[in-house]
Amino acid sequence: MPAHKLLSDKNIPARERLIFALDVPTADEARRLVESLGDSVQFYKLGLELFMAGGYFELVDDLVAQGKKVFVDLKFFDVPETVKRAVARLNGRGVYFATVHGNENILEAACSEKGDVKILAVTVLTSLDEGDLRDLGFQCSPQALVLSRAKRALAVGCDGVVSSGLEAPELRSSLGDNFLVVTPGIRPVANVDDQKRTVNVEQAFRNGADYIVVGRPIRAAPDPREAAESIQRTIAGVFGG
């Protein structure tokens, strides 16, 4: 598929295409960071670190009350009935995305109770490469595994997938445009951390992502707000804003 056709044309405000990974030790620290970022970030991902810190759902409610979008990234993975009941608890809270990990039965159970929450299936973590997959017993490339998992997820009703930007072009060319691709592992500069399958901001979108997730490049910047605004300027340029 030509690169220009990979660019998302979904009705998503450009400034909401950046999702900031709010990975900090406490809810109070999270609130301070949200305040300092101001309108540079409209969409927040809340993961396991904050969940274990306490006050997770109070923070979710606070962000929703501020008009922010919230991505509950807890990667639900359990017996289908347990996952089904967990997802049902998100209904009515204003949560926009939630992640689910697992096979078709688990994903289908999640989708059966998703209500107003969009379910994203986790494909292959961006911290894993082909060697890691071999260690886990998968005798295939990350690309093949991502495509296989994405096909199954969409077939049972998931709204989209979490996928590296490296696999996004194959997802789009094989499965079309009628689903969401959320791409983590974004590194605007040279990568020196545990993420292995990374792309930069512009590459992610030109490869077919609808949203990108950025954490450390904003959080660890000398001026996080300016780092976020720099990414927003790049996104605006990509989408002609």
- The residues annotated with a catalytic role in the active site are 75
Which residues contact residue 179 at a Cβ distance below 8 angstroms, ignoring those fewer than 6 apart? 150, 154, 158, 159, 160, 161
Q: What is the rounded CA–CA span in Å between residue 49 and residue 43?
A: 18
CA 12, 14, 18: angle at the middle one, nearest 5?
Answer: 100
By CB atoms closer than 10 A (0-12, 13-18, 19+), residue 209 is buried
Secondary structure (3-state) at 115 = coil
What are the structure tokens assigned to 47, written together?
A: 């993961």
Q: What is the rounded CA–CA span in Å between residue 235 and residue 241?
A: 8
By CB atoms closer than 10 A (0-12, 13-18, 19+), residue 230 is middle
Give the count of alpha carbons within 13 A of 131, CB side only: 3
Secondary structure (3-state) at 24 = coil
Query: CB 192: neighbour CB atoms within 10 A?
Result: 8
